[in-house]
Structure 1
Amino acid sequence: MQDLLAGLAAFAAVLVIAPAPTRAAGAAPCIAKSGSDATETRQDSSVDDGEIRWTASTKYKAEYQHANRAWSYSGAKVKIAPDAATTVNDLNYEDFSDAKSAAAGVWSRHPGPAATDLIRFNKARMDTFDAATRRMVAAHELGHALGLCHKSGSGKDAVQSVMWPEVARYPDAPTAVDKANYKRLWG
């Protein structure tokens, strides 16, 4: 009987110490009410035949490499790989400089056969940021290239997301919410 009581006490201690199971994060809605950022669709992405083939002509190599790795997480369905002689370039990373623009980065879609979409980094803004913030901008813009929209970082519907429309230090990689939206879009 004493052994049974000791076993029950140990089991009860585990129940008290063990953290409560966490619920998988759900997909979050887009915060835009109209335009291409109001929905998440495969058509509004740089993905071609399940992959994004990219080239780069930017000074922010560490940042776009971080974004490529971050969105190539275990379980990701879209292959993100450098363009090769036998593939079609889907996306180019490049720079511009506009001190009047508030944007640190911009993804732009160029529809059409063999068209190349762009992720453009604004040197006038990016050069004022620390490395973590520059990585966040690159990961955010690649999220758009994957078809994801802006998420809320404030208010009652706030979620942790790399897809916040504001530049922030955290997060600089897809969160559980981002992965849920990605999974909903790409399986």
Structure 2
Amino acid sequence: MRNLLAGPAALAAVLLVAPAPARVHAALPAPCTAKSGSDATETREDSSVDDGEIRWTASTKYRSEYRHANRAWSYSGAKIKIVPDAATTVSDLNYEDFSDARSAAAGVWSRHPGPAATDLIRFNKARMDTYDAATRRMVAAHELGHALGLCHKSGSGKNAVRSVMWPDVAQYPDVPTDVDQANMNRLWG
């Protein structure tokens, strides 16, 4: 009697029934750093997301920065679509500029609740113009993270995580990390 599973066929059969390799440790969502206020929680209501998407417009000089942020948060597997506004849709978010040398903020996301209201990501030219391109991209990605409903994460101490949502302009990443994606999955999954 001949063994039908000898040679390459046997290898193929083993591969079909072999268990998948163990998954590398998946990142866990990180807690918010604030203890109270709107930055103390991550909620769908505290975001610019409408029906699973953010429709955006722009009137800012930082075009490459906001485009980078839009692409970065449109990673493979992202649940929220970030798409330009169209003639037949209502804009959920507008990128715009302001200039205030007294403000330490390089960027600010602000929520404007109500029907057909447009939230804002505002870039402070007084700060942004002093930063290199990489830091400007970090600011844009960070502020879009807020528009997606994410809070600040800790960049130091015992609960430190690597996140685009660190509260200060520093050497945080300019794309969502595995921790950021875990927080997005928890919020929008």
The TM-score normalised by the length of structure 2 is 0.87
Q: What is the CA deviation profile of residues 18-60 of structure 1, one whole-angstrom value per residue up to 9, with x for unaligned ones? A: xx96311100000001111100000000000110000000000
Tell me, in whole angstroms, the C-alpha distance in 2 between the residues paired with 1:89 and 1:170: 29
Tell me, in whole angstroms, the C-alpha distance in 2 between the residues paired with 1:130 and 1:169: 12
2:47 is aligned with 1:45 = yes
Q: Could you tell me whether the CA contact under 8 Å between 1:46 and 1:109 is conserved in 2?
A: yes
Q: Could you tell me whether the CA contact under 8 Å between 2:166 and 2:172 is conserved in 1?
A: no
RMSD: 1.0
When structure 1 is superposed on structure 2, of 98-107 and 169-178 the one drifting more is 169-178
Q: What is the CA deviation profile of residues 4-28 of structure 1, one whole-angstrom value per residue up to 9, with x for unaligned ones? A: xxxxxxxxxxxxxxxx963111000
Which residue is 2:99 aligned to?
97
Q: Which amino acid aligns with 1:147?
A: G
Within the candidate set 27, 30, 33, 1:31 is matched to: 33
In structure 2, the CA distance between the partners of 1:82 and 1:21, relative to structure 1 (3 Å rule), is: closer
What is the CA distance between 1:168 and its match in structure 2? 1.5
* Equivalences for residues 65-80 of structure 1 within 5 A: 65-80=67-82
Question: Once the two structures are aligned, what percentage of the paired residues are identical?
Answer: 86
Q: Could you tell me whether the CA contact under 8 Å between 1:132 and 1:169 is conserved in 2?
A: no
What is the CA distance between 1:98 and its match in structure 2? 0.3
Tell me, in whole angstroms, the C-alpha distance in 2 between the residues paired with 1:65 and 1:109: 20
Q: Which runs of 4+ in 1 moved over 2 A?
A: none
Tell me, in whole angstroms, the C-alpha distance in 2 between the residues paired with 1:46 and 1:178: 17
Within the candidate set 104, 110, 113, 1:111 is matched to: 113
Q: What is the CA deviation profile of residues 71-99 of structure 1, one whole-angstrom value per residue up to 9, with x for unaligned ones? A: 00000011100000111100000000000
Q: Which amino acid aligns with 2:151?
A: C
Tell me, in whole angstroms, the C-alpha distance in 2 between the residues paired with 1:82 and 1:70: 15
Tell me, in whole angstroms, the C-alpha distance in 1 between the residues paired with 2:160 and 2:168: 13
Tell me, in whole angstroms, the C-alpha distance in 1 between the residues paired with 2:104 and 2:23: 41
Within the candidate set 49, 61, 65, 1:59 is matched to: 61
Q: Could you tell me whether the CA contact under 8 Å between 2:95 and 2:122 is conserved in 1?
A: yes
Tell me, in whole angstroms, the C-alpha distance in 1 between the residues paired with 2:60 and 2:181: 27
Tell me, in whole angstroms, the C-alpha distance in 2 between the residues paired with 1:57 and 1:31: 31
Tell me, in whole angstroms, the C-alpha distance in 2 between the residues paired with 1:50 and 1:100: 36
- What is the aligned length? 168
